[in-house]
Amino acid sequence: MKIWCPRCNQGWVTGAQIKSTNERVSVCEECEAAWANEKSINFETFVDMSTMLKAKGLSGNWSDLLVDKEQGS
Amino acid sequence: MRVADQADPGYVEAYGMLGGGSASKSLGKLTKIGPDAWQSTGGLKYVGLDNNGLNRVGHVMRHTVPGGTGFSVFSVPRNQVIELLDEAYLSPSRRPVPGDPAAFITPMGRTIGTSGENAVRLILRPGTTEVISAYPVNYP
């Protein structure tokens, strides 16, 4: 289910998989707010995508992710 | 480093970021600082690509074209948007969004959006001046 971003109110939150770990995440394509738990997507629980990915030793860029094709704006 | 010119890829040259609009000649000018990376005269950086392969200038410039319900659009000319964002960033009126340390709202004192929005919301990478997104909002 597509969710309008509760942080920026300007884009859709899309599902994605971290390539190196296969972990599922949800990310706003507009503001790069990210959530590790897709069942808890709200303003209070977002983290910055690059911050989340760099904490895992990754580049922090979209290239770290495989974005779900069926979602997004 | 060099000033953005016709050799730069993507949206930068397309939107004429060569000093921009008329309000202030000192803001809104971009200098290339690396691959897919520019810095404005106001100190904002536009680094990297979005999920659709647009550089960050192009990502922000999406907000100059209507994008559907809920997507806000700048009413200023495209070649003045970077200058507007510099003005918003440097303004003493800029304030953090409660609960979001990397987002800021600057009341501009004039209409800057096509739906009457009067403020700019800047979303930066935490702890940096790197722009992730910027768009018009209503304030308060």
Contact call for B71 and A72, based on CB within 8 A = no
**Is A4 touching B (CB cutoff 8 A)?**
yes
End-to-end CA distance of chain A: 12
Domain membership of residue A73 (yes or no) is no
Question: Tell me, what's the pLDDT at B37?
Answer: 98
Q: Is the ipTM of this complex over 0.90?
A: yes
Judge whether A63 lies within some domain. Answer: yes
Say if residue B22's pLDDT is above 80.
no
What integer is the mean pLDDT of A62-73?
A: 80
Does residue A22 sit within a domain? yes
* pTM of the entire predicted model: 0.88
Q: Which residues of A, range 7-46, sit inside 8 Å of B by Cβ?
A: 7-11, 14, 27, 29-32, 43-44
Give yes or no for residue B19 having a pLDDT over 60: no
pLDDT in tens, A16-62: 999 999 999 999 999 999 999 989 999 999 999 999 999 999 999 99
CB A67 within 8 A of CB A16: yes
Q: How far is it, in rounded angstroms, from Cα B85 to Cα B53?
A: 22
Q: Is residue A15 part of a domain?
A: yes
Q: Is residue A33 part of a domain?
A: yes
Which residues of A fall within a CB distance of 8 Å from B100? 7, 43
Select the residue of B99, B102, B133 nearest A10 (Cβ to Cβ). B133
B26-39 per-position pLDDT tens digit: 899 999 999 999 99
Residue carrying the six token digits 């979005």: B50
Q: Counting every residue, how long is chain A?
A: 73
Residue at A39 is within a domain: yes
Please indicate whether, in this complex, the C-beta atoms of A29 and B48 are within 8 angstroms of each other.
no
What total of structural domains would you count in chain A?
1
Look at residue A16 and tell me if it is in a domain: yes
pLDDT above 60: residue B123: yes
Question: Given the DSSP bridges, would you call strands A12-18 and A24-28 parallel, antiparallel or unpaired?
Answer: antiparallel
Is residue A8 one of the residues assigned to a domain?
Answer: yes
Percent of chain B with pLDDT over 70: 82
Q: Which residues of B touch A50 (CB under 8 A)?
A: 125
Q: What is the pLDDT of residue B11?
A: 52
CA distance A60 to B125: 11
Please give the mean pLDDT across all residues of chain B: 88
For residue B71, which residues of chain A lie inside 8 Å, CB to CB? 10-11
Q: Which residue of A has its CA nearest to B123?
A: A31
**How many Cβ atoms are within 10 Å of B54's Cβ, its own excluded?**
16
Residues of B in contact with A7 (CB under 8 A): 100, 103
Domain that holds residue A13: 3-67
